[in-house]
Structures are given as structure tokens and as C-alpha cells.
């Protein structure tokens, strides 16, 4: 038995497998050098592919949250802007009222009434502002106009007030008998008749189409914030209260003392309105700050995860291209060898 025997077939096929494998590795190395990632990530990572896939999903999700946060931020800043304007209207009412203390001149009273009416109309317009087709202050009822206009024809709130006035005093607002209304009566009327209509149950029926629940948004994988304001809050209610009693009664033939009580009460309401609106602004500001913080932490997480994903699926491009070069040399050598070995035959020398 020959120990060193080599069959011609073995010589011919010896380099075949090497060349075959080198060529398929060359293909992979080429892909890796160009893309910077493993040519077949699954094959390379095996069971760790699950982690890789999960990380990629998480990164995508966080990007989506950041995109969603942009929408929420947009809504909140629009709300902030509108609330700013609303607070401005309230401030205007307050200024007017303070300048009117102790003044009983009918002409100036009429001017004051008009100013307050305009202020409430402005207030109403801003309360009904919308962004992206959603009413900002409707709570979750984003498709319903939140605040009904008091000065609109057929206003339910106005009808309710008129009815309450007539029922309590027995005459209408501009009736000369209004002169007979005492300060106690006025106090009682405001507290027990008008307050329920505006600050109490009457708000939902006559004034507001909004929902008391504000919109909530998830701004992080584990944080949910309030992302809108509603008109069903103390600020807007008190603003309506102050404006309505001024519009309806300031310029009527009241006695000076009673008018004084009315004005003082109105100043009190509007003061509460301003602080209420400021409170809402502060709350939204807090939410804005939470979003900024959330985005910051999301960005950091995305960076970290991308780094880890990179470690899993990226290859060293230089290594890949060096490998490609080595493989090319190898294949070329193998070609040359094959050709030369094929030429080696005794036949050539016979």
C-alpha cells in the first residue's frame, strides 16, 4: 500500500473548496466594507439577534415619543400663548374696574361697560382658539367649541341671568326701580343667584362645552403628563362672573352704595380669575419643563442604545477591507497555483 499516493482528482479538487469559501467570504467582506455592518447580522449574532431587534424597536419607539412630544409641546405653547392673552383681558377688566371705584358718572360707566364687554369677547375668542384642528381648552372634548359667547344672540347664559334677575328683584336691569336695591340684596343676589349660574352648575349647561378632564400624554416610557388646559377651571369661571355682573349691572340705575358693592365684588372675582389663569399657565409650564427633561433623557438613552446596537451589528470597516484584500490575494494565489499544478504533468515531458 502506498502511503504517499495522491490521486489526480484530489489534486484537481484540493483548491476548489478553498477558492469557493474564499469567494463567498469575499462577497461578505465587500458588503461589510461598504455598509459598515455585518453582512448577515443574524448569522453573526445568533441568539443575541433578539436583543439587537429589541434595541432597535426601543430606539424607534423613543424617536416616535420625541416626535409625539413635539406635537404635545406645540399644543402646550399654543395654550400658553392663548392663556397669556386671556390673562391680559382679565387684567384689562381689573384695570378698568379699579379706575372706576367711586365713580358714578353715567357716561364713564357706559365706557367701562363697553371696555369689559370687549375684554370678555376677546377672552372668549382666545378661549376658543384651536391648534391642529383641536380646540385647546376643551379638555378631552377636542372637537367641541369650549366657551359659548355671552354676547352672541340667543345666549343661554344671558337668558339665565335675565331670568334670575327678574325673579329675584321683580323688574329688569334697566328699570328705574333698580335704585331701590340695597347692598345686602345685591350681596345676596350675587352669592346665591349668580354664583350658582356661573361658578356652579350653570357653567356646564350655559357656558361650557368642554370636558373637565384635560388631555394626558405619555412623554416617556413611564411618565404621563397633563398636556392641555380646560375652560372648566376657576380662572375662566371667575372671569365670566366678573364680566357678566359688570356688563349687566354697572351702568344700570343702581344706588351709589350698591354699585360700590358690585364693583368691589367684581374686582374680587377678576382678581381670582387672574390668579386662576396664572395657575393654569404654571401647570402647563411645568408640563413643558417635563417634556424638555423627557426629551433630554430620551436622547441620552437613544445615544446609549445606538452605541450598543453599533457594538452588536457594526464591523470595523478597515478590518473588513483589509480582509477583502487578503482574501483577494489568497484567491489569486490559489488561481495561479491551480493553473501551475494543472500544467505539471509527465505528459508534457514525453
Partner 1 sequence: MSLSSAISTAQSILSNTSKQTLVVSDNIANASNPNYARRAPMMDNNIAGGLIVSVRRTENQVLLTQSLDYLSVSSAQNVVYSGLEQMKTTLGGNDNELSPSRYIGDLRNMLQTLAATPGDTTLAASLISSAQDVANSVNEASAAIQQIRLDADMAIERGVNDLNSLLTQFEEINREVVAGTLSGEDVSQALDQRDTLLREISSLVGIRTLERDGNDLAIYTTAGQTLFETVPRSVTFDPTNGFDATVTGNAVYIDGVPLVAGTGAQTDAKGELAAHLQIRDTLAPVYQSQLDEIARGLVVTFAEHDQSGSALPDLPGLFTWSGGTVPSTTAIVPGMAASLSVNPAVVPDSGDPALLRDGGINGASYVSNTSGGTGFSTLLDGYVTALGEPMDFDAAALAGERTSLIDYASDSIGWLELNRSQAADAAETREAASVQVFQTYSNATGVNLDEEMALLLDLEQSYKASTQLLTTIDEMINALLAATR
- Chain residues binding partner 1 by CB under 8 A are 5-10, 12-14, 17, 21, 37-51, 53-54, 56-57, 60-61, 64-65, 67-69, 71-72, 132-134, 138-143, 211, 213, 215-218, 221, 224, 227-228, 345-347, 350
Residue 147's DSSP bridge partners are 208
Cβ 312 to partner 1 shortest distance, Å: 12
Least spacing, CB of residue 82 vs partner 1, in Å = 16
> Closest approach of Cβ 49 to partner 1, in Å?
4
**Could you tell me the three cell numbers for 99?**
379706575
Residue 250 in 3-state DSSP? coil
Close Cβ partners of 343 (under 8 Å, ≥ 6 residues apart): none
Least distance in Å: CB of 104 to partner 1?
47
277: which 3 cell numbers? 389663569
Q: Which residue has the cell 350655559?
A: 206
Phi–psi pair at 4, nearest 5 degrees: -105, 20
**9 Cβ contact partners less than 8 Å away, ≥ 6 residues apart:** none
Report, in Å, the least distance between residue 205 CB and partner 1.
15
CB of 204 to partner 1, least distance (A): 12
Burial 291-307 (b: 16+ CB within 10 A, else e): beebbeebeeebeebee
User: Between residues 100 and 315, which has the closer beta carbon with respect to partner 1?
Assistant: 315
Segments in the chain forming alpha helices (H):
8-35, 41-45, 49-100, 106-127, 156-169, 183-189, 195-198, 202, 234-249, 256-313, 317-343
Cβ closer to partner 1: 24 or 104?
A: 24
Q: How far is the CB of 76 from partner 1 (least distance, A)?
A: 11
**Least distance in angstroms from the C-beta of 270 to partner 1:** 29
184 or 345: whose CB is closer to partner 1?
345
- Identify which of residues 7 and 106 has a Cβ nearer to partner 1 in the complex: 7
Among positive and negative, which fits the CA dihedral 260, 263, 269, 273?
negative
Q: Which is nearer to partner 1, 39 or 186 (CB)?
A: 39
Comparing CB distances to partner 1, the nearer of 220 and 252 is 220
The minimum distance between CB 39 and partner 1, in angstroms, equals 8
Identify the CA nearest to 85 among candidates 134, 133, 136, 132: 136
Q: Which residues contact 243 (CB under 8 A, 6 or more apart)?
A: 93, 116, 117, 119, 120, 123, 150, 270
- C-alpha 9/C-alpha 12 separation (Å) is 5
Q: Tell me which residue of 278, 266, 144 sits closest to 204, measured CA to CA.
A: 144
Nearest to partner 1 of 68, 271 (CB atom):
68
In the complex with partner 1, which residue's Cβ is closer, 65 or 254? 65
Amino acid at each position: 500500500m502506498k502511503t504517499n499516493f495522491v490521486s489526480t482528482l484530489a489534486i484537481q479538487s484540493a483548491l476548489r473548496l478553498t477558492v469557493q469559501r474564499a469567494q463567498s467570504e469575499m462577497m461578505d467582506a465587500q458588503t461589510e466594507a461598504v455598509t459598515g455592518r455585518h453582512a448577515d447580522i443574524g448569522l453573526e449574532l445568533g441568539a443575541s439577534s433578539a436583543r439587537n431587534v429589541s434595541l432597535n424597536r426601543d430606539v424607534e419607539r423613543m424617536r416616535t415619543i420625541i416626535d409625539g412630544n413635539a406635537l404635545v409641546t406645540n399644543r402646550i405653547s399654543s395654550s400658553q400663548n392663548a392663556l397669556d392673552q386671556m390673562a391680559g383681558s382679565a387684567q384689562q377688566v381689573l384695570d378698568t374696574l379699579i379706575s372706576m371705584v367711586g365713580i358714578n358718572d353715567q357716561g364713564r360707566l357706559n365706557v367701562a361697560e363697553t371696555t369689559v364687554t370687549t375684554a370678555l369677547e376677546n377672552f372668549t375668542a382666545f378661549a376658543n382658539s384651536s391648534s391642529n384642528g383641536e380646540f385647546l381648552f376643551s379638555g378631552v372634548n377636542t372637537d367641541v367649541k369650549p366657551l359659548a359667547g355671552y354676547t352672541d344672540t340667543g345666549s343661554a347664559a344671558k337668558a339665565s341671568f335675565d331670568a334670575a334677575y327678574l325673579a329675584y328683584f321683580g323688574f329688569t336691569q334697566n328699570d328705574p326701580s333698580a335704585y331701590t336695591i340695597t347692598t345686602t340684596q345685591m350681596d345676596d343676589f350675587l352669592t346665591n343667584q349668580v354664583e350658582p349660574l356661573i361658578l356652579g352648575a350653570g357653567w356646564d349647561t350655559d357656558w361650557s362645552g368642554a370636558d373637565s378632564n384635560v388631555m394626558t400624554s405619555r412623554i416617556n416610557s413611564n411618565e404621563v403628563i397633563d398636556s392641555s388646559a380646560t375652560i372648566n377651571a376657576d380662572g375662566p369661571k371667575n372671569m365670566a362672573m366678573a364680566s357678566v355682573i359688570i356688563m349687566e349691572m354697572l351702568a344700570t340705575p343702581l344706588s351709589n352704595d350698591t354699585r360700590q358693592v358690585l364693583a368691589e365684588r367684581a374686582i374680587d372675582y377678576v382678581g381670582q380669575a387672574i390668579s386662576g389663569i396664572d395657575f393654569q399657565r404654571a401647570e402647563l409650564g411645568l408640563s413643558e419643563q417635563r417634556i424638555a427633561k423627557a426629551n433630554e433623557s430620551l436622547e441620552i438613552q437613544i445615544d446609549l442604545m445606538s452605541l450598543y446596537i453599533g457594538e452588536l451589528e457594526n464591523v470595523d470597516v478597515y478590518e473588513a477591507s483589509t480582509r477583502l484584500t487578503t482574501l483577494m490575494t489568497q484567491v489569486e494565489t490559489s488561481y495561479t497555483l491551480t493553473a501551475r499544478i494543472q500544467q505539471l504533468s509527465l505528459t508534457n515531458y514525453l
